[in-house]
Amino acid sequence: MSGGVDSSVAAHLLQVQGYEVLGLFMKNWDETDENGDCPAARDYEDVQKVCHQLDIPCYSIEFIEEYRNHVFAEFVKQYEAGYTPNPDVLCNREIKFDLFLKKAIEFGCDYLATGHYADLRPRTSLATNHSKNELIRAFDQNKDQTYFLTAVPGPVFDRVLFPIGGMPKPEVREIAKKLGLATHAKKDSTGICFIGERKFKTFLNQYIQAKQGYIVNLEGERIGTHDGIAFFTLGQRKGLGLGGEGEPWFVVGKDIEKNELTVTRGVDHPALYSPGLVAREMNWFAGAPPAMSFDCTAKSRYRQEDQPCHVTVTDEGGTGSEIRIDFVEPQRALTPGQYAVLYLNEVCLGGGVIHQVIKN
């Protein structure tokens, strides 16, 4: 239980279904915010209130050291290398659906249930012994979180429940309101958990040694300076400090060795678009890709609409650890370090880290 409305209602629904429910709160970060408050402490207070209302026991479990070593350290490492990582995907793989699941089992639990907007259904194909369930999109497409689950090993979902995956968000809030749960009006959490309401650049500057470099245009002409290449991502507009008449400037390239940002004017400039990408560290929920070459849809960032594409397995052994994705339509600001997640209709096939962006 996170201290939010989704996990609160999930606990209630499990009770209604006859499960014996135990509330477990996961603390991964121990810094205070700019006001001296600890967000994790406030969230746990809400968990305690809800557990008291539902008459279920609750416990707080700390993974602060593990989170720093397995998620945050990788986050900083990737930013220093010029990539744009996704710590929420890493947290789900390394902490929530690994260490946290194991801790729940130690408590005697048969399943780990969360407030994720995702769903599971029994796998109909007998072609794999990898897992009994396949991951499918949530009923509420606006809240679907399968993108963030793409790195979780498939067999893990055999011990996972998503009680609200088949419900629209307004219904979840209405249930919480009718029950009078302490979290019924609590705002959804947004952004990266360990940054909170702080400015991203200010936070990152505490952990990365920024080095000033040049900003160049597509012709290689120096037109400005930046205060750290790690603070910028492809497609970014704000924070460049470039003015002048004409359309706004956008980041279209990062040269780590030269410590240079490449920019160009225009929200729809061709340099912002790419026909495809190469993804590595692929995680297939069925244990393997459906074929060596196939058509499906993909998301290269959360909340993006599905993009039709063709997928080709490119690693030497044919295991599917590396793939090439060729999109039907060029995609804007494909970003190394983010995840490419594949779908076949409502089924999430899996995904991997964007390693290379294919240029025209």
52 Cβ neighbours under 8 A, 6+ residues apart? none
Using the predicted structure, report yes or no on whether residue 34 has a pLDDT greater than 70: no
Mean pLDDT of all residues in the chain?
91
pLDDT reported for residue 222 = 95
Residues of the chain with CATH 2.30.30.280: 210-267
- Write out the residue limits of the CATH 2.40.30.10 domain(s) in the chain: 273-358
pTM above 0.95, yes or no: no
For residues 15 and 56, the answer to whether their CB atoms sit within 8 Å is yes
pLDDT of 241 > 60? The answer is yes
| pLDDT, position 30 | 75
Question: Rounded to whole angstroms, how far apart are CA atoms 59 and 184?
Answer: 21
pLDDT tens for 148-174 read 999 999 999 999 999 999 999 999 999
What digits encode the pLDDT tens for the residues 277-332?
Answer: 999 999 999 999 999 999 999 999 998 999 999 999 999 888 899 999 999 999 99
Residues 6+ apart with CB under 8 A from 113: 10, 11, 14, 19, 21, 160, 161, 162, 163
**What whole-number distance in Å separates Cα of residue 64 and Cα of residue 27?**
7
Q: How confident is the model at residue 190 (pLDDT cuts 50, 70, 90)?
A: low
Contact 131, 287 (CB under 8 A): yes
Segment 194-210 mean pLDDT: 72
Alpha helices in the chain (DSSP H): 5-16, 39-54, 64-67, 73-80, 87-91, 100-106, 169-179, 200-204
pLDDT value at position 359? 87
Mean pLDDT across the stretch 341-354? Answer: 97
- Is the distance from CB of 166 to CB of 173 less than 8 angstroms? no
Closest CA to 178 of 326, 321, 24, 13: 13
Amino acid 162: pLDDT: 98
Q: Is 91 a catalytic residue?
A: yes
pLDDT at 65 over 60: yes
Give the whole-angstrom CA distance, residue 186 versus residue 169. Answer: 13
Q: What pLDDT is recorded for position 344?
A: 97
Query: What's the CATH code, domain 5-115+163-179?
Result: 3.40.50.620
- Give the number of C-alpha atoms closer than 13 A to the C-alpha of residue 84, restricted to the C-beta side: 21
The pLDDT value given to residue 192: 60
All CATH 3.40.50.620 domain ranges of the chain, comma separated, are 5-115+163-179
pLDDT at residue 191, as a whole number: 59
Predicted confidence (pLDDT) per residue in 125-149, tens digit? 655 567 889 999 999 999 999 999 9
* Chosen CATH of 210-267 out of 3.20.20.70, 1.10.645.10, 3.30.565.10, 2.30.30.280: 2.30.30.280
Q: Is the pLDDT of residue 67 over 70?
A: yes
CB atoms within 10 A of CB 200: 12
User: 211 by DSSP, 3-state: which?
Assistant: coil
- Which one from 38, 51, 58, 91 is the annotated catalytic residue? 91
**Cβ atoms of residues 181 and 28 within 8 Å:** no
Q: What is the pLDDT of residue 131?
A: 82
Q: Tell me what pLDDT residue 319 has.
A: 86
Confidence of residue 360 (pLDDT cuts 50, 70, 90): confident
Per-residue pLDDT at 189: 74
pLDDT digits (tens, 9 = 90+) for 116-126: 999 999 987 65
Torsion-angle region of residue 213: left (phi > 0), alpha (psi -120 to 50) or beta? Answer: beta
Instruction: Name the active-site residue from 58, 193, 309, 348.
Output: 193
| Three-class SS state of 173 | helix
Distance (Å, whole) CA 33 – CA 12 = 31
Stretch 188-212: mean pLDDT, rounded?
Answer: 73
| Average pLDDT of the residues in 37-58 | 90
Task: Please provide the size of the chain in residues.
Answer: 360
| HSE of 96, CA atoms in CB hemisphere, 13 A | 20
- Asked whether the predicted pLDDT for residue 236 surpasses 90, the reply is yes
| 90-119 exposure pattern, b = at least 16 Cβ within 10 A, e = fewer | bbbbbbbbbbbbebbeeeebeebbbbbbbb
Number of separate helices (H) and strands (E) present in the chain: 8, 16
What does the pLDDT read at residue 114? 97
Q: What is the Cα–Cα distance from 31 to 64, expressed in whole angstroms?
A: 10
273-358: CATH number: 2.40.30.10
| Residue 323: both structure tokens together | 């793939």
Report the share of the chain in percent with pLDDT over 90.
77
State the pairing for strand pair 323-332/307-313.
antiparallel
| Average pLDDT rounded to a whole number, residues 69-90 | 91
What average pLDDT does range 76-96 have in this prediction? 92
- The pLDDT value recorded for residue 68 is 92
Please state which of the ranges 31-45, 54-68, 249-263, 326-340 shows the lowest mean pLDDT: 31-45
